[in-house]
Amino acid sequence: TLGYRCAAVKVYRVYILLLFLLIAAPFYIHYYISKISIDSYSTDDVRRIVQLDDIHILEANDLKLRIEELIRIKASVSSELRDLEHRRQKLQSEIVSLSQSLEEVKRESSASHLELERMQSSLKQALLAQNELASRNVPRLFLPLRLVPASENNDIVTMHPASEPSQACHMHTCFDYSRCSLASGFPVYFYNPDDTNVDPAVKRTITDTLNTNVHVTFDPDVACVYIVLLTGSLQHTSVQAYLKGLRFWGTGGQNHLLLSLPGHGQGPVHSADAERAVIVQSTFLTNEFRHNFDVVLPSFPKQDNDSSPAWSVASALVPARRKYLLTFRGELKGKQNGTQTYDAIVSALKRMQTSATDDGLHLEFVCAALDQGQEEGGEWSLCGSLEHRMVLLRESTFSLIIAPSDIYSTTASSLRRLSEALQCGAIPVILGADHLTLPFAEFLDWSRVALLLPVARVTELHFILRTYGDSDLVELRHRGRLVWEHYLSTPSRVVSAVLSLMRARLGIPAHPAKEEPALSVFNSTFRPVTMDSPMPSDVEVEESLGPLEQPFPSLPYQRNFSVAINEQGKVWNELYDPHTLYPFGTDDPVLPSEAKFIGSSFGFRPIAEGAGGSGKEFGEALGGNVPREQFTVVMLTYEREAVMVDSLQRLHNLPHLNKVIVVWNSPKPPSSDLRWPEIGVPIEVIRAKKNSLNNRFLPYSSIETEAILSVDDDAHLRHDEIVFGFRVWREARDRIVGFPGRYHAWDNNNRAWLYNSNYSCELSMVLTGAAFFHKHYSYLYTNVMPQAIRDKVDEYMNCEDIAMNFLVSHVTRKPPLKVTSRWTFRCPGCAASLSEDDSHFQERHKCINFFAQVYGYMPLLYTQFRLDSVLFKTRIPHDKQKCFKYI
């Protein structure tokens, strides 16, 4: 029993010890971890803790009390720990808040620093501009004012004695320049054709043509040139008497143009009858044609056929090689000097036709039926009707034209062959071109559209034709079609070309291009509500993109006389538009690099004053090869006010921005309480005449810059993207430069084109919902591009961007340029647009094929690269900056 009691006591003590350790261990752990001073406890608590050393002598009741005390202390420590943790979290929150404030201060400091740099750069640019204006010694050119002769000076001044033979007339001897000031605008007076017995159809066509020409004046006192229509039953013997009876004929008919139409019973006018008047006709005798004075009139179309525009009756450019290599159908009429030469020509051509080759040659020298109305002897008459000739010409790669006898300088029959060949895409081959005078040859280079060969080359003709490759054939055919469309296709184009030739002889600039009036959507008394426009956070770029300058226009009409006097060859043969003076050109001459530092510094802003540099210096000046300039944003919108305002706000403080033009396409005006953002430049809201996507490309008079950034109202672009696109455009001014790319794909099954928006390594279009282009193309789109294309855009309410890409590629024969990696530009939160509808996509397939039909070929060209900035992804030293951070 005693042993049992001893064992029980020992076990009890062990339990007590274990219980003590379990209770004391957490206390000591918290104590040392938290480093809580024992002074935080009461003296009584300490005493009791110290007394734990005597735990082996305590009774059970005391031990229970001690345990309860320890539990209380534990609770107190836990509460203290919670308070400390709360304080720690509060301090941590304050640290985070202060860190955020510090970062915000750093950002504000960086932004202020960038703003300071921008202001310094802007101030520097303003001082440069001020100094340039103060030291400029070059007169600024403007659109010419119209100066006309004094009304009381009605008599034409005779510059040379009237006894001088009329056959010796030249412009400087028989033309009165005093009535044609360089700033006169070339006014032309048209004698009333009622004074002659004119065929009614011809009279109506000519009258309508002349009365709608921009040069025609109804005041004869101010005219530079007087036009007389000669046709109908007026006989040769009465021509001279009729001319002398004209009111302003004067002493010799100076400054008169005698427009003699072929056929209609009217023979050629002779120089003896015309005296000092300029003869404009299709048939001239060699000994009577006065070079660089008289004008060769092309084959004159019967009438303007509005129901069948020129493109619809012209032939396509491909295939390059047609059924026949060479065709000719004609019969020599009359016996004249040189018949032996013609016999040799016919003999050589017949041998070529029977040679052992697979080339198709269709040569006929006897007609089953002759075309009526051919009276000249010693020339090749036309066979059959116009329709039969057209069928053969559309199957011909080349069309042979044999020049008439050398007694003629030119004949109406030869010119009819030439016009018909160009219309049908048969490349003219003119044998005897060395003594044949062609229409408008003073400025029009016929060697670009035809093969001009002497008669002696007839034996080598087959060999010459076989040397032409497909690209040369199509290029010659293309130029020939352009010449026919712009100068020969209708009476109005023929007359315009004649007047432009006379005006170009005098060095008078053409008529200014027509602009679209910019009519505000607001009335004169309404003042729109404005608001401050902070830049959206997703637009801010932490880099200086350029100085903020006051809006200034591009200088228009700076080459009025240099073009009129020195570049007529280019105007007639490359631009095909001698009738219009444009304020800007896409390919004006560029000065050598050193010129901007030696005598021609006006407007130039070289990087670091010519020293060059990386990002910092690059952002301070435009640099490049042309003077400084700005661009205009044109935004088309239709009843999406919130989306439009958001897009406008994103343009706040955009460098190089001149103004924003909002084309309001809706018939309803904007809301009167709509708040327009203040973005640092003017915002002009233009009222459209009708809801048309063509309004995007109208040449508005308020667009004062060469560069236009066309954007949709839901297009979201960063500032650095826009500035980079503008810098690229400045180096490729004749091309569309933009962001979203598309391409045209060939459908082998249907033998047609498809519009494609898939990701591709080849592109041929850049959408004009976010693209730069030259204002020059606005004039062409509105006034020169075939009306059928604009009508198709209105029909589908679609495809205007495709039409602009077609136009630019047609004019330049170059593809557009895509910049950056961006493939789309739509705002993420905007409602779905029409472009996402499947019918919209199907319409674009139809558009692309219709446009190709109008142009006669597919003008779009492919490109396989995009553009990024020079130092993009290039490792550079830490003390240098890239051109753009993200581009």
**pLDDT tens across 846-856, in order?**
999 999 999 99
Helix (H, G, I), strand (E, B) or coil at 536: coil
Report d(CA 379, CA 407) in Å as an integer: 10
Q: Are 252 and 368 part of one and the same domain?
A: no
Integer Cα distance of 439 and 488 in angstroms: 10
Number of Cβ within a 10 Å radius of residue 836: 9
596 in helix, strand or coil? Answer: helix
Q: Do residue 9 and residue 115 come from a single domain?
A: yes
Domain boundaries, position 426 = 314-489
Q: Are 269 and 297 in contact (CB under 8 A)?
A: no
Q: What is the pLDDT of residues 198-235, one digit of tens each?
A: 667 677 778 888 878 899 999 999 999 999 988 755 66
The phi, psi pair for 375, rounded to 5°, reads -115, -15
The domain total for the chain is 4
- What is the reported pLDDT for 848? 98
Q: What is the mean pLDDT of residues 662-685?
A: 93
Query: For tokens 């059924």, what's the residue?
Result: 323
Q: 32 and 172: one domain?
A: no
Q: Is the pLDDT of residue 401 over 80?
A: yes
Tell the residue number behind the tokens 């304080």, with chain if given.
87
Residue 872 lies in a domain: no
- Domain boundary, last residue among 91, 113, 134: 134
Joined tokens for residue 166: 């009329």
How far apart (Å, rounded) are the C-alpha atoms in residues 835 and 712?
Answer: 12
The catalytic residue positions are 801
406 in a structural domain? yes
Question: Mean pLDDT across the chain, nearest whole number?
Answer: 87
Indicate whether 867 pLDDT > 60.
yes
CB atoms within 10 A of CB 868: 16
Task: Choose between 801 and 823: higher pLDDT.
Answer: 801
Question: Could you tell me the two tokens for 802?
Answer: 């495709």
From the number of C-beta atoms within 10 Å of its C-beta (0-12, 13-18, 19+), residue 636 rates as buried
Name the token pair of 385.
Answer: 């009707």
202 Rama sector, left if φ>0, alpha if ψ -120 to 50, beta otherwise: alpha
Which residues have CB under 8 Å from 164's CB, separation 6+?
173, 174
Q: List the single range of 186-195, 298-307, 713-722 with lowest mean pLDDT.
A: 298-307
pLDDT of residue 356: 60
> In this structure, are 631 and 681 located in the same domain?
yes
608 in a domain, yes or no?
Answer: no
> Residue 53 pLDDT > 60, yes or no?
no
What would the mean pLDDT of 58-68 be, rounded to a whole number?
Answer: 79
Smallest CA-to-CA distance from 419 within 502, 342, 491 is with 491
444 part of a folded domain: yes
What is the pLDDT confidence band of residue 138, given thresholds at 50, 70 and 90? low
Span 623-635, pLDDT tens digits:
999 999 999 999 9
> Which domain CATH number covers 846?
3.90.550.10
pLDDT reported for residue 46: 46
Closest by CA to 721, choosing from 651, 663, 788, is 651
The residue to which tokens 């006014």 are assigned: 187
Q: Which of 10-14, 52-56, 526-530 has the lowest mean pLDDT?
A: 52-56
10 Å Cβ neighbour count for 9?
A: 10
Compute the half-sphere exposure of residue 704: CA atoms within 13 Å on the CB side of its CA. 13
Q: Please give the structure tokens belonging to residue 867.
A: 């553009």
Cα distance between residue 231 and residue 262, in whole Å: 8
d(CA 720, CA 425): 48
Same domain, 331 and 476: yes
Distance between CA atoms of residues 193 and 662, nearest Å? 48
Residue 253 φ/ψ region, left for φ over 0, alpha for ψ in the -120 to 50 degree band, beta for the rest: left
What pLDDT does residue 161 have?
A: 46
Q: What is the pLDDT of residue 50?
A: 47
Q: Please report the DSSP string for 665-681 in residue order.
A: -SSSPPPTT-EEEE-SS
Give the pLDDT confidence score for residue 207 in this predicted structure.
80
Q: Are 778 and 701 in contact (CB under 8 A)?
A: no
Mean pLDDT on 589-596: 95
- Given a cut of 70, is residue 373 above it in pLDDT? no
Q: In 3D, which of 245, 252, 258 has the Cα closest to residue 284?
A: 258
Q: Are strands 817-819 and 737-738 parallel, antiparallel or unpaired?
A: parallel
Q: Is the pLDDT of residue 43 over 60?
A: no
pLDDT at 287: 92
**pLDDT tens, 706-726?**
999 999 999 999 999 999 999
Instruction: Give the residue carrying structure tokens 């003077």.
Output: 627
* pLDDT for 582 beyond 50: yes
Co-location of 171 and 125 in the same domain: no
Integer Cα distance of 218 and 763 in angstroms: 52
Does residue 177 sit in the same domain as residue 231?
yes
In this predicted model, what pLDDT tens digit does every residue of 455-496 receive, in sequence order? Answer: 999 999 999 999 999 999 999 999 999 999 999 999 899 999
Could you report the per-residue pLDDT of 637-671, keeping only the tens digit for each? 999 999 999 999 999 999 999 999 999 999 999 99
Produce one character per residue of 134-154: b if its CB has 16 or more CB atoms within 10 Å, e if not. eeeeeeeeeebeeebbeeeee
Decide: helix, strand or coil at residue 363: strand
pLDDT for 303 equals 59
Q: What is the pLDDT of residue 38?
A: 45
Is a pLDDT exceeding 60 seen at residue 616? yes
Q: What confidence score (pLDDT) does residue 2 get?
A: 47
Using an 8 Å Cβ cutoff, are 756 and 762 in contact? Answer: no
Torsions phi, psi of 29, nearest 5?
Answer: -65, -50
Residues 388 and 466 in one domain: yes
Give, in degrees to the nearest 5, the angle at Cα 485 between 480 and 491: 130
pTM, rounded to two decimals: 0.85
Residues 267 and 343 in one domain: no
> What is the enclosing helix (H) or strand (E) of 295?
strand 295-296
Distance, CA of 254 to CA of 277 (rounded, Å) = 5
* Same domain flag for 331 and 277: no
pLDDT cut 70: percent of the chain above it = 85
Question: Does 651 or 831 have the greater pLDDT score?
Answer: 651
Would the pLDDT of 878 be above 60? yes
CB 755 within 8 Å of CB 844: yes
> Is 775 inside any structural domain?
yes
**Which of 244, 265, 296 delimits the end of a domain?**
296
**Residue ending a domain, choose from 134, 156, 191:** 134
Residues 353 and 436 both lie in one domain: yes
Cα separations in angstroms, 418 against 408, 422, 764: 16, 6, 35
Whole-number Å distance between alpha carbons of 157 and 478? 45
306 found inside a domain? no
pLDDT in the model for residue 397: 98
With pLDDT > 90 as the criterion, what percentage of the chain qualifies?
62
| Pair 855, 717 in one domain | yes
Give the whole-angstrom CA distance, residue 216 versus residue 191: 11
Q: Is 371 within 8 Å of 330 (Cβ atoms)?
A: no
Res 129 pLDDT > 90 = no
Q: What angle do CA 342, 345, 351 make, to 5 degrees?
A: 140
Of 589, 785, 603, which Cα lies nearest the Cα of 694? 785
Q: State CA 119 to chain mean position distance.
A: 33
The answer to the question of residue 318 being in a domain is: yes
365 or 136, which is more confident: 365
Say whether pLDDT at 779 is over 60.
yes
Q: Is residue 226 one of the residues assigned to a domain?
A: yes
Q: Which two tokens stand for residue 224?
A: 């530079």
- pLDDT for residue 6 is more than 90: no
pLDDT of residue 621: 92
Pair of tokens at residue 685:
């809201």
Closest CA to 630 of 735, 547, 700, 716: 547
Widest distance between CA atoms in the chain: 173
What integer pLDDT is reported at residue 591 of this predicted model?
Answer: 96
Residue 254: pLDDT band by 50, 70, 90 thresholds?
A: very high
Q: What is the DSSP letter of 122?
A: H
Does the structure show a pLDDT above 70 at 538?
no
Average pLDDT over residues 820-830: 75
CATH classification at residue 320: 3.40.50
C-alpha 635/C-alpha 642 separation (Å) is 14
Q: How confident is the model at residue 158 (pLDDT cuts 50, 70, 90)?
A: very low
DSSP annotation of 715 reads B
Angstrom distance (rounded) from CA 488 to CA 300: 8
Do the Cβ atoms of 445 and 573 come closer than 8 Å? yes
The whole-number pLDDT of residue 41 equals 46
Helix locations, 39-59, DSSP H: 43-50
Residue 320: pLDDT band by 50, 70, 90 thresholds? very high
The predicted structure's pLDDT at residue 20: 74
